[in-house]
A and B are shown apart, each in its own frame.
Chain A
């Protein structure tokens, strides 16, 4: 089977704490057979949410995921279970091995639960543990193994059904640099003909191994551009909660209101910002989506700054590279 992955305009929206959260907003990418794809971005940018969608564990609010000739987002019930079991292998950040079972048993369990006969499952487990260089450690429990070895067992477990799509969520997050090297080499080796490997990470060093890098949250902190004037008419929305933006705004004249969309469809007004004040600095600085929407209360004139431009225009308001922590709201 030739693996191809098509992710089209995926949006995931849910409510949390009464607010609408949109961890993924119109994300799309594709990958071809034998490729290693890296989903890159900081914590909270939706990497795990994307992996959950690819694994068939989460149904996106909109968009489509296609793998081979399967419309993953359209699968339901037994077809989805079969997809999870036969098509996808998952490697978790925290290994998620069952501590009371040996390495071999951890690899055997998913096969037994899938109805594979015991003898066949054990033989397959031994073969996979051999492949991840843990042939001699099959009788050890996770607590007796290093983080790297546990992750190798988790990789072996993900491969039990020889899945054409392997997903790894921050697979090196809990490992030291020596263990990282071994795991990355193994993951790179998995991306061969007949298989696509998708790895989520916040560590951009991994991108050098990737055939394709998908940045889920572009880095705006180094962006620089000249300040520009922005005119808003009364009621005009500047940006929406969940949008990603690179600009920080200072109010020159007029007023804007900052509000949040609640899950019940209502709005919660947070603040009104007038001349001499600024807003929208945390999103660009921390690579986070906008946490609130902004709309003009009346005709308003703003100046839009990049992060660097804002630092120059408002020295001392926001910490520079050698300054203290951020102390603004």
Chain B
């Protein structure tokens, strides 16, 4: 219950008390504003001071004639018109999403780079013991994959826990749970290329130093 009401309870709209007779779900406007269904007269009383005004007429089927001053919209056009007001908000969220991918890539790159830097001597030793650059390269790739898979699983768990905390209904498509680790692995591997260069470039002779 986004409004926190249940049948039999009272809700105040425009300063007037109304008794709740039923509830609906997944009906919000503008990214989270709850919708309330009332009789036409109550709605007119609340919104336009009781005057006989309407802003929309819903019909079954397509009207053959539209009265002067009204425009006919199909359900798709209504949805598009309504969502158009959300365009800026959706675009901001999309931009934030890309920015967070870039930040995540930097974090993974920095993490693996520092790890590679700290283990430069270990890499030199392993090469001196006969490990090939390819084997070390592969081991670093595995590390990048493990780090990013763990991070994406944690992110998915966290999102599940946090979903109910938002006022707006949050819908995460199932495909996102599958694609997130894949994209994360790709980003992580790309981000780890600098670290990989460090690992494979270690001079085995340095192990004697």
List residues of A whose CB falls within 8 A of some B CB: 48, 51-52, 55, 57-58, 81, 84-86, 88-90, 92-93, 96, 98, 109-110, 113-115, 157-158, 160-161, 169
- Does the CB pair B208–A51 fall under 8 Å? yes
List residues of B whose CB falls within 8 A of some A CB: 119, 121-122, 125-132, 135-136, 139, 204-205, 207-208
- Does the CB pair A90–B139 fall under 8 Å? no
- Does the CB pair B128–A158 fall under 8 Å? no
* Complex Cα–Cα for A328 and B131 (A): 48
- Does the CB pair A157–B122 fall under 8 Å? no
- Does the CB pair B129–A86 fall under 8 Å? no
Contacts of A114 in B (CB 8 A): 130-131, 135
> In the complex, which of the residues B121, B129, B207 contacts A110, with contact meaning CB atoms closer than 8 Å?
B129
Contacts of B135 in A (CB 8 A): 113-115
Which single residue of chain B is at the shortest CB-CB distance from A78? B132
Which single residue of chain A is at the shortest CB-CB distance from B136? A113
Contacts of A110 in B (CB 8 A): 126, 129-131
* Complex Cα–Cα for A88 and B205 (A): 14
Contacts of A48 in B (CB 8 A): 208
Which single residue of chain B is at the shortest CB-CB distance from A200? B208
- Does the CB pair B207–A92 fall under 8 Å? yes
Contacts of A85 in B (CB 8 A): 129-132
Query: Could you pull out 24 A-B pairs where Cβ atoms are within 8 angstroms?
Result: A48-B208, A55-B128, A57-B204, A57-B207, A57-B208, A81-B130, A84-B128, A84-B129, A84-B130, A85-B130, A86-B130, A90-B129, A92-B207, A92-B208, A93-B208, A96-B122, A98-B119, A109-B126, A113-B132, A113-B136, A113-B139, A114-B131, A115-B135, A160-B129
Q: What total count of A-B pairs have CB within 8 Å? A: 61
The smallest C-beta distance from B41 to any residue of chain A, in angstroms, reads 74
Which single residue of chain A is at the shortest CB-CB distance from B125? A96
* Complex Cα–Cα for A161 and B129 (A): 10
* Complex Cα–Cα for A55 and B131 (A): 13
Contacts of A81 in B (CB 8 A): 130, 132
* Complex Cα–Cα for A253 and B135 (A): 65
* Complex Cα–Cα for A169 and B130 (A): 17
- Does the CB pair B205–A52 fall under 8 Å? yes
Pick the most buried of A89, A96, A157: most chain B CB atoms within 10 A of its CB.
Answer: A96
- Does the CB pair B205–A57 fall under 8 Å? yes
- Does the CB pair A88–B130 fall under 8 Å? yes
The smallest C-beta distance from A111 to any residue of chain B, in angstroms, reads 10
- Does the CB pair A161–B130 fall under 8 Å? yes
- Does the CB pair B122–A98 fall under 8 Å? yes
Which single residue of chain B is at the shortest CB-CB distance from A48? B208
- Does the CB pair A52–B129 fall under 8 Å? no
Which single residue of chain B is at the shortest CB-CB distance from A161? B130
Which single residue of chain A is at the shortest CB-CB distance from B206? A57
Contacts of B204 in A (CB 8 A): 55, 57, 84
